[in-house]
Amino acid sequence: MKIGVIGLGTVGFGVVDILSKEKDRLAKAIQEEVVLKYACGLEEIELPEGILYTKDYKEVVNDPEVDVVVELIGGTTIAKSIILESIYNKKHVVTANKALLAHDGKEIFKAAKENNVHIFYEASVGGGIPVLVSQKESFIANNTLEIAGILNGTTNFILSLMEKDNLSFEEALQIASDLGYVEANPALDLDGVDAAHKIAILAMNGFETYAPFDDIQPSGIRNVTKLDMDIAFKLGYRIKLIAQAKLVPGGIGIDVGATLVSLESLVANVMGSYNVVEINGDYVNDIVYYGRGAGRHVTASAVVSDIMKTVQERRWNHDYKEGTKVFPITLSKYYIRSSSVLPIEFLEYYSEKDNHVYIVDEIELSKLKQKLEGFEYVLFKVRG
Ligand code: HSE
């Protein structure tokens, strides 16, 4: 089998490296030699012998010898052309492109089906964690009821470093960037959009439905201050960027936002660039997937596993329901901090200097906001 890798950034380099180092073992495992024919990128990197470098992706997708195109440039423009042109040329596709699949998954999966080729995208969610293969294969007996977790390595890394090493937000972001965790546009990580892409893909597979991505309203970690992290800790919580999807009346609820989680929970103890995905299925109940969510070889490991799946002729069906509505999940417990004493019922109250902090029981956000009208406050969801 011959493949072409398009995109020689952090992950692309990792894929070339693993494929060349593990060549013999992989060939034995799948009983076929995987030949990396092309490495395509804007800038040439040092390549092992025998791999053709090109700047022109068309050379790869139009070569009749290429069986699998590995798209690793990301984004929703050229990457989409690369994937669709590969599919029309009857090539299998492997991609890590969460943004593209979250926005245009329906069109891409339909094109793949019509052209009788496979598309695998394990690296798009949870870095090296084999969560999509589990959803599509091991979990198949179940109807998914809820999916939740930490799906962005960058923001989890930043929050962890701010807490453990007392670093500033900017210092932690710089380290995450040096380690290759951060998107080309860091706002995607920091504003919860990357986590939204990933929960949208998990929700699509879990609830077997195409949900319009633009209906999701993510928020990120920019509003998380050290003060709130410290107060949350004193009250027995840690603040994490939590992505959640569940069935709600009339559609699916999808939410991404900074959330307080009990220090005793598993999720609260997922630190650094690690991700966690909890899936609740009606037969198996709760399953938890945990591992590194970002990084060169971590993500490349998932890409290589997908390349192997194309040879093994695995099939992931994507004939999903259309027209499903997406709603924010607004019924929750909440943490509120204000400089005023607030006229609300609460489960817990704490005060420190000029800060009054309340944990309130499950309530609709609109109702809570009505009660808080006229007051200045900071508000986060509380999970569990
Ligand atoms: N920027 C992403 C993250 C990379 O931090 O999780 C992996 O998808």
CA distance 233 to 236: 5
Confidence of residue 203 (pLDDT cuts 50, 70, 90): very high
Q: Tokens 């040439």: give the residue.
A: 44
DSSP annotation of 145: E
Q: Is 216 exposed, middle or buried (0-12, 13-18, 19+ CB in 10 A)?
A: buried
Q: What is the mean pLDDT of residues 295-315?
A: 95
- Burial of 265-275, coded b for 16+ CB within 10 Å and e otherwise, reads eebbebbbbbb
- The end-to-end CA distance of the chain, in Å, is 48
Between the CA of 163 and the centroid of ligand 1 the distance, in Å, is 20
Between the CA of 348 and the centroid of ligand 1 the distance, in Å, is 35
Q: Which of 177, 194, 277 to mutate to test ligand 1, by most ligand atoms within 8 A of the CB atom? A: 194
Three-class DSSP category at 171? helix
Give the start-to-end residue ranges of the domains of the chain.
2-120, 131-293, 331-383
Tell me the per-residue pLDDT of 139-167, one tens digit each, with 9 for 90 and over: 999 999 999 999 999 999 999 999 999 99
Q: Given this model, what pLDDT does residue 15 score?
A: 98
Q: Is the pLDDT of residue 13 over 90?
A: yes
Cβ neighbours of 355 (radius 10 Å): 14
Q: Given this model, what pLDDT does residue 89 score?
A: 98
Cβ neighbours of 54 (radius 10 Å): 17
Q: Given this model, what pLDDT does residue 313 score?
A: 85
Three-class DSSP category at 33? coil
**Helices and strands of the chain, counted as H and E runs:** 13, 16
Domain 2-120 has CATH 3.40.50.720: yes
DSSP annotation of 51: P
What does the block give as tokens for 115?
């052209």
DSSP 299-358: HHHHHHHHHHHHHTT-------B---EEE---EEEEEEEESS------SEEEEETTEEEE
CA distance 180 to 45: 16
Q: Tokens 């609830």: give the residue.
A: 207
Q: Given this model, what pLDDT does residue 103 score?
A: 98
Q: Are 357 and 336 in contact (CB under 8 A)?
A: yes
Q: Is the pLDDT of residue 314 over 90?
A: no
How far is residue 280 CA from its own chain's centroid?
Answer: 18
Between the CA of 155 and the centroid of ligand 1 the distance, in Å, is 9
What is the pTM (predicted TM-score) of this model? 0.97
Please give the single-letter amino acid code of residue 171: E
Q: Are 36 and 20 in contact (CB under 8 A)?
A: yes
Tell me the per-residue pLDDT of 290-302, one tens digit each, with 9 for 90 and over: 999 999 999 999 9
Fold match flag (2-120 vs 131-293): no
Q: Which residues line ligand 1 (CB under 6 A)?
A: 127, 152-154, 181-183, 189, 194, 293-294
Q: Given this model, what pLDDT does residue 202 score?
A: 98
Q: Given this model, what pLDDT does residue 44 score?
A: 87
Mention the CATH class of domain 131-293: alpha beta
Question: Per this entry, what is the length of the chain?
Answer: 384
Three-class DSSP category at 371? helix
Q: Are 264 and 238 in contact (CB under 8 A)?
A: no
Q: Given this model, what pLDDT does residue 278 score?
A: 98
Question: 213, 212, 208: which is closest to 317 by C-alpha?
Answer: 208
pLDDT above 90 covers a percentage of the chain that reads 97
Between the CA of 173 and the centroid of ligand 1 the distance, in Å, is 12
Tell me the per-residue pLDDT of 89-124, one tens digit each, with 9 for 90 and over: 999 999 999 999 999 999 999 999 999 999 999 999
DSSP 247-307: EETTEEEEEEEEEEEETTSTGGG--TTEEEEEEEETTTEEEEEEEE--SHHHHHHHHHHHH
The torsion region of residue 287 among left (phi > 0), alpha (psi -120 to 50) and beta comes to beta
Between the CA of 20 and the centroid of ligand 1 the distance, in Å, is 24
Q: What is the mean pLDDT of residues 310-324?
A: 93
Tell me the per-residue pLDDT of 224-278, one tens digit each, with 9 for 90 and over: 999 999 999 999 999 999 999 999 999 999 999 999 999 999 999 999 999 999 9
Tell me the per-residue pLDDT of 38-82, one tens digit each, with 9 for 90 and over: 999 999 888 999 999 999 999 999 999 999 999 999 999 999 999
Q: Given this model, what pLDDT does residue 177 score?
A: 95
Q: Given this model, what pLDDT does residue 45 score?
A: 86
Q: Given this model, what pLDDT does residue 72 score?
A: 98
Residues involved in catalysis: 198
Q: Given this model, what pLDDT does residue 18 score?
A: 98
Between the CA of 293 and the centroid of ligand 1 the distance, in Å, is 6
| Mean pLDDT (the chain, rounded) | 97
- Burial of 87-117, coded b for 16+ CB within 10 Å and e otherwise, reads bebebbbbbbbbbbbbbbbbebbebbbeeeb
